Chains A and B, each alone.
Chain A
Amino acid sequence: MATVEINDLAKRYRGTQALRGLNLRLASGCVTGILGENGSGKSTLFRILAGVTRPTRGQVLIDGLRIGVDTRRITAYLPEVDAFYAWMSIEEQLEFLASFYPEWDQAKARELTQFMKLKGEAKIGELSKGQRARLKFIVAFSWPSRLILLDEPLGGIDPPSRARIMRAMVQEFRAEEQTILISTHLVAEIEEFVEQVVFLHDGEVALQGNADALRTDRGESLSQMLEEVLS
């Protein structure tokens, strides 16, 4: 179970200010939705948390640790675009990945492959976008990571795949051990699944809180809140 602490986090790419001094404390053992339009800074935040890119300013602590080898060891990061090898079969890809994770659970990977209705012998290059998204999910949940970063896991995939992924997420999420951050602009898909929400707009926090508490206060759905944040 990981606590994430973000202090005055800023990131500037050539000419673009992706994050403008974020301050956040994300509770452990819960699912937080990072919600916002494309370009709001969601992916940049995830890349920093995953240790793929460095911030221009500010600090991030995961369980009190600065981003580095120790945090990468407990973090499962699923980028929007996967890095699977087209020529491998699903089974080969999973075995290959298993060698990177000391705590990889092969039985779990098999069980999830079955649940996701994927065939181990299928070649990755021949999978649909939805099937690849399901495979990404298997990778994230086949080892006991403490922090799971799901960047746009539902974008551009067919509704049955989305439904399958959401179902698996409800089943597999271990609140006592894991913290999940899920970024998406498809807010309606995750209304029932996120407990905490952070709305990002133009690299800044526009609104945040407990999803049900915000619904009580505002009488709105998270989708409606996002629309308001954008206007």
Chain B
Amino acid sequence: MNFDPTRPIYLQIMEEVKKRAVRGNYAAGEQLPSVRDMATQMGVNPNTMSRAYQELEREGFIHTKRGEGSFLTHESVRIESERTGLAQAACAHFVVQLRDLALDAATTRHLLQRVEEEVNE
């Protein structure tokens, strides 16, 4: 995985797990790979992975059963709200970038509409 080295790695791991859930790579209630397997998959330190799992658990996104492993939340609503959260963050990033080009809101909307139409064609 390609990480942004200027941001905490454990946060980026958390985002990645959430993205995978949102995309349906893991279903609600499904067992996640072990800390070590996930660390190997993403090429990070197992301790950092363990911290990411702990934080995800604290947020209620995953839960760990002793001796069994970690599982994604059963609540699809929770995963859905994560989708909204991630989309909002992406939009905020996009808006900031366009502002940087000194585009006003009306032009931005117009541009967006055009791009959307092009994509749909």
Does B47 sit within 8 A of A, measured CB to CB? yes
Q: Mark B27-50, 1 if CB is under 8 A from A, else 0.
A: 000000000100110111111101
In the complex, which residues of chain B have a beta carbon less than 8 angstroms from the beta carbon of A211?
9
**Given A166-B43, A167-B43, A171-B40; A195-B48 close (CB under 8 Å):** yes
**A192, B46: Cβ atoms under 8 Å?**
no
B9 and A212 within 8 A (CB): yes
CB within 8 A of B43: which of A170, A188, A220, A224? A170
Q: How far is the CA of A230 from the CA of B114 in the complex (A)?
A: 49
Q: Does B5 touch A at the CB level, under 8 Å?
A: yes
Q: Which residues of A contact B (CB under 8 A)?
A: 29-31, 166-167, 170-171, 173, 175, 188, 191-195, 211-213, 215-216, 219-224
Those of B30-82 within 8 Å (CB) of chain A: 36, 39-40, 42-48, 50-51
Q: Is the interface of B mostly helix, strand, loop or mixed?
A: helix
20 A-B interface contacts by CB (under 8 A): A31-B47, A167-B40, A170-B39, A170-B43, A170-B44, A171-B40, A175-B47, A191-B3, A192-B5, A192-B43, A192-B45, A192-B48, A193-B44, A193-B45, A195-B45, A195-B48, A211-B9, A212-B48, A221-B6, A224-B6
Q: Which 9 residue pairs of A and B lie closest in terms of their CB atoms, listed nearest first?
A: A221-B5, A212-B8, A191-B5, A192-B44, A221-B6, A215-B8, A193-B45, A175-B47, A216-B8
B5 touches A188 (CB 8 A): yes
A141 to chain B, nearest CB (A): 14
List the B residue with the shortest CB-CB distance to A180. Answer: B45
Q: Residue A192 contacts which of B9, B11, B36, B51 (CB distance < 8 angstroms)? A: B9
Q: How far is the CA of A188 from the CA of B6 in the complex (A)?
A: 11
Cα–Cα, bound, A215→B7 (Å) = 6
**B10 close to chain A: CB less than 8 A:** yes
A220's nearest neighbour on chain B, judged by CB, is B6
| Distance of A216 Cα from B51 Cα, bound (Å) | 15
Would A30 and B47 count as touching, CB distance under 8 A?
yes
Nearest opposing residue in chain A for B10, CB measure: A212
Residues of B within 8 Å of A29, CB to CB, are 47
Closest to A219 in B: B6
CB-based nearest A residue for B41: A170
Rounded to whole angstroms, the CA-CA distance of A166 and B8 in the bound complex is 19
Give chain A residues whose Cβ lies under 8 Å from the Cβ of B11: 212
Min CB distance, B71 to chain A, in Å? 22
Specify which of A175, A192, A221, A224 lies most central, judged by the most chain B CB atoms within 10 Å of its CB. A192
With both beta carbons as reference points, the residue of chain A lying nearest to B1 in the complex is identified as A192
Most buried by A among B3, B47, B50: B47
A228 to chain B, nearest CB (A): 13
CB-defined contacts of B48 to chain A, threshold 8 Å: 192, 195, 212
- Enumerate chain B residues within 8 angstroms of A166, measured Cβ to Cβ: 43
Q: Which of A167, A175, A212 contacts B46 (CB 8 A)?
A: A175
Give the residue of B5, B45, B50 whose beta carbon is less than 8 angstroms from that of A170.
B45
Q: How far is the CB of B54 from the nearest CB of chain A, in Å?
A: 13
Closest partner residue, chain A, to B46 (CB atom)? A175
A-chain residues with CB within 8 Å of residue B43 when the two chains form the complex: 166-167, 170, 192
